[in-house]
Structure 1
Amino acid sequence: MAEADDHNGTEQAIPVADITNGDQPAAAVLETLPVKGRAPKTGYKRTQFGRAWADVDHNGCDTRNDILGRDLKDKKFKAGTNDCKVMSGTLEDPYTGKTIYFKQGKKTSDKVQIDHVVALSNAWQTGAQKISADQRKQMANDPYNLLAVDGDANQQKSDGDAATWLPKNKSYRCSYVSRQIGVKHKYNLWVTKAEKAAMQRVLVTCPTQAVPADDGPFPQNGAASQGGSSAGTAVEGSGNSGQEANGGASSAQPAPAPAPAAPVVPQNGGDVYYQNCAAVRAAGKAPIYAGQPGYRAALDRDHDGVGCE
């Protein structure tokens, strides 16, 4: 095993990389990542990345429920939470390919868990020790680094990297590895030699795979649903999982969103190109379906043929 570089423990605020357009080839972005050995796990605690599932974007909804609201379909919400606390729904699990029915409760919530695509302890050992505490908190709650997945698969993965764990669903491996690359690029992390080799083996099967677009935080009260259906039904319910933070609404207002990028029309007369989902929505074309002008895989996070839902 390669020896890790010495680290003096000094935290720095390092600029977060811009990957909003999501059309950079994953293999090319991988080549920009430093290759080093893992740093020691000494000093790692979950609290180094802030309180679990904090409402860091001040949209009135904790991060766990934000992700459930994005990734589940046919959702029902707890009444009085402004469509925040998800009580039930259906997950098309990317890691196993299974359809999972989620019901919030002490004995059922764990069937669907929220995975850090780049595990926090892995991040700690591959550069996160060197970034600021605020950036670590951002990473732990960043929708770009989070997926609702099968609980058993999440437990099997633990803190593994691509060299030690890949999704059982082989058709999702290119998307999974490209997202890990995007996260590591965004937060100035490195890869180990074995990890890079594993990523390259996956990407050789999909040479045009791009890193996913980074659509940024959720709007207030979890109103956007980037993975599943945005429609939901309010229901009464009081069950609670030990993994969940507070799910109620907040009076905090989100920061103003940046102006959406305009669609780009190629000069050669080709189809319309949308830089990201903000541009699709600004053009009044959301959701955008496979086969329509401007649709591309990077806009379709759950690979169901419907982008920017």
Structure 2
Amino acid sequence: MSLDGLVVEPRHNPVDYERAAFGTSWSDTDGNGCNQRDDVLLRDAVPGSTKVGQQGGCAHDVLAGTWHDPYTGATLTFDDLKDLHQAQGVQIDHVVPLAEAWASGADQWTPERRRQFANDLDELLAVDGHANMSKGDGDSAAWRPRKDYQCLYATRWIAVKTTWKLAIDLSEKEALAQMLTYC
């Protein structure tokens, strides 16, 4: 997977984007009884730091833990993720935001393909809530993580766009190329 392997197209901004086009948030697409949010929280937590409980068919409903936010470098520790304020402190980011995917080709996908994309574990990352809100729907030209993470961010962005056959625009390609210089 390389930057040069991606299709470069002029940016288009479809006016009909709606988050709901990607299905309901946090499905259990891998059939393990837990939604993708809990799967990502467990996967991305500092090993041994999580407290989990049983919720319905989910044996690892994440209740507490510690995460190292790759975007800011901050350490995030929460003791009650059932508290909305704490739950908002660690969010699950779509590395390639859904609106960006929509503008890059997902507007042509079936609803099922969009749902799969929105819940793809390779596309999801546990991050600081404020950083995720700051990133919003920005592409790689509009938002960047801290310098020490830009190489991995660009690599992951390229992998997601390659896997899902999404296009990039010229400003996105230039930003990714610059971030790859930190590798």
Task: Tell me if both proteins adopt one fold, taking TM over 0.5 as the criterion.
Answer: yes
- Equivalence for 2:53: 78
Q: Is the 8 A contact 2:54 2:60 kept in 1?
A: no
Alignment partner of 1:42 is 2:42: no
Aligned pair count? Answer: 178
Q: Is the 8 A contact 1:67 1:114 kept in 2?
A: yes
Q: Give distance in 1, aligned partners of 2:41 and 2:32.
A: 15
Q: Give distance in 2, aligned partners of 1:101 and 1:149.
A: 12
- Equivalence for 1:271: none
- Equivalence for 2:110: 132
Q: Is the 8 A contact 1:78 1:85 kept in 2?
A: yes
CA deviation string 1:18-51 (max 9, x = no partner):
xxxxxx5xxxx21111111222232211111111
Aligned partner of residue 78 in structure 1, secondary structure? strand
Q: Give distance in 2, aligned partners of 1:106 and 1:62.
A: 17
Q: Give distance in 1, aligned partners of 2:41 and 2:159.
A: 21
Kindly provide the amino acid, as one letter, of the partner of residue 190 in structure 1: A
Q: Is the 8 A contact 2:51 2:64 kept in 1?
A: yes
- Equivalence for 2:172: 195
Aligned partner of residue 84 in structure 2, secondary structure? coil
Structure 2's unaligned 5+ residue stretches are: none
Fraction of identical pairs, as percent = 43
RMSD across aligned positions (CA): 1.3
- Equivalence for 1:52: 25
Q: Give distance in 2, aligned partners of 1:148 and 1:129.
A: 26
Kindly provide the amino acid, as one letter, of the partner of residue 84 in structure 1: H
Q: Is the 8 A contact 2:11 2:169 kept in 1?
A: yes
Question: Which structure has the greater CA radius of gyration?
Answer: 1
Q: Give distance in 1, aligned partners of 2:55 and 2:4.
A: 48
Alignment partner of 1:158 is 2:158: no
Match of 1:97 among 73, 88, 91: 73
1:204 Cα deviation (Å)? 2.2
Q: Is the 8 A contact 2:36 2:119 kept in 1?
A: yes
Q: Is the 8 A contact 1:163 1:198 kept in 2?
A: yes
Q: Give distance in 1, aligned partners of 2:70 and 2:179.
A: 16
Structure 1's unaligned 5+ residue stretches are: 1-23, 207-309
CA deviation string 1:47-79 (max 9, x = no partner):
111111011121100111110011112100124
Q: Higher helix proportion, which one?
A: 2
TM (normalized to structure 1)?
0.56
Aligned partner of residue 188 in structure 1, secondary structure? coil
**After TM superposition, where is structure 1 displaced by more than 6 Å over at least 4 residues in a row?**
none
Alignment partner of 1:88 is 2:74: no
TM (normalized to structure 2)?
0.92
Kindly provide the amino acid, as one letter, of the partner of residue 171 in structure 1: D
- Equivalence for 2:160: 183
Q: Is the 8 A contact 1:41 1:121 kept in 2?
A: no
